[in-house]
Amino acid sequence: MSQNEEEYDHALVAMLELIWGEGFLSPGGPQAVREIVSGLDLEDKLVLDIGCGLGGLDIILASEFGARVIGLDVEIDLVRRAVEKIGKSGLSDRITLQHCEPGPLPQADNEIDIVFGKDSWIHVEDKRAFFTEVFRVLKPGGILTAGDWMRSAKPYGKDMEYFFEMEGLTYHMETLEIYGDILHQCGFVDISLDDVAEQYRAQSHQEYANMKGPLKQQMADSLGEEKQAYFIENWRAMTVVLDSGELRPARFRAHKPL
């Protein structure tokens, strides 16, 4: 089953924004967006951000790179909040947000220059159907560029099971190699796969230390002490599976042939 109901509740979103910055529901902030689109010319290109969350990344794509952005997300509350945020940013003429259902994309064939995603496709169960759709909506010569959370090839151990339990979100992880195989089978060429687990492993320890230190009071004030303690334990569980190499954030890029 893909994620099809509201999973990113108020407390989770508030906590993620505290750690990763306003408008960001995944690590790395504006710099991660820059890295994912590095070397691409986005000026006036039509970029489809699938799983846009609160739209913080779309603001970077439009304001720093001159892209025209369509952001899609399955969570209606997140889309509402993102619309509000984009309105305040003065970028409504460049960014359109759309609520969507999991499954076929609402875009027409060959409509999009660049499909972008950041740590959202982990929620999609049928990756082959998903990337077939991404391929369909891209123009010939169009580019898919994204980051996502991957797993190692080993069966899940108890630390990973505990991490999933703490996260409480619907995850369907694959290895980076399987993403590569599926992209190839869907017709993509010039596929590059880049494991960035080590980069995020170090950062996650810093985040965990911040949650127990400088962010502790702010978390308690906005979430209450019970949720604060829960999320600190959640983060500890995440550092364990990043340290063991079972959780492997990665980046990948692929091209639709001309």
Site string for ligand SAM, 193-222 (x = CB under 6 A): ------------------------------
**Cα(67)–Cα(81) distance, rounded to whole angstroms?**
21
CB of 29 to ligand SAM, least distance (A): 9
Nearest distance in Å: CB 115, ligand SAM = 12
Counting every residue, how long is the chain?
258
Nearer to ligand SAM, 172 or 205 (CB): 172
Q: Which residue is nearest to ligand SAM (CB)?
A: 53
Could you tell me the smallest distance in angstroms from the CB atom of residue 251 to ligand SAM? 13
Give phi and psi for 6, each to the nearest 5: -70, 110
Compare residues 123 and 136 and give the one whose CB is closer to ligand SAM: 123
Task: Give least dist CB 55 to ligand SAM, A.
Answer: 8
Residues 18-47 that bind ligand SAM (CB under 6 A): 24-26
Alpha-helical runs (H) found in the chain: 10-20, 29-36, 56-63, 76-89, 127-137, 158-167, 176-185, 197-212, 216-223, 225-243
- Which region among 52-60, 152-160, 183-191, 234-242 touches ligand SAM (by CB under 6 A)? 52-60
**In this chain, which stretch among 2-10, 154-162, 218-226, 241-249 interacts with ligand SAM, using CB under 6 A?**
2-10
Give the number of other Cβ atoms within 10 Å of residue 149's Cβ. 20
- Report the residue from 15, 47, 50, 215 that binds ligand SAM according to the rule CB under 6 A: 50
Report the site for ligand SAM in 125-154 (rule: CB under 6 A): none
d(CA 214, CA 240) in angstroms, rounded, equals 22
d(CA 93, CA 119): 26
In sequence order, what DSSP letters do the residues of 23-86 get, joined into one string? T-SSTTHHHHHHHHTTT---TT-EEEEET-TTSHHHHHHHHTT--EEEEEES-HHHHHHHHHHH
Query: Locate tokens 């999973």: which residue?
Result: 7
Q: What would the two tokens of residue 141 be?
A: 């010569």
Q: Please name the residues in contact with 231: beta carbons below 8 A apart, sequence gap of 6 or more.
A: 15, 211, 219, 223
Using the rule CB under 6 A, give the single segment among 51-59, 199-207, 209-217, 239-247 that binds ligand SAM.
51-59
Backbone φ, ψ for residue 228 (5° rounding): -60, -45
Q: How far is the CB of 258 from ligand SAM (least distance, A)?
A: 27
Q: Choose among 177, 127, 153, 172: nearest CA to 246.
A: 153
User: Which listed residue (53, 62, 107, 188) binds ligand SAM by CB under 6 A?
Assistant: 53
Site for ligand SAM in 86-125 (CB under 6 A): 100, 102, 118-120, 123-124
- Residues of this chain that interact with ligand SAM (CB under 6 A) are 2-3, 8, 24-26, 50-53, 56-57, 72-75, 78, 100, 102, 118-120, 123-124
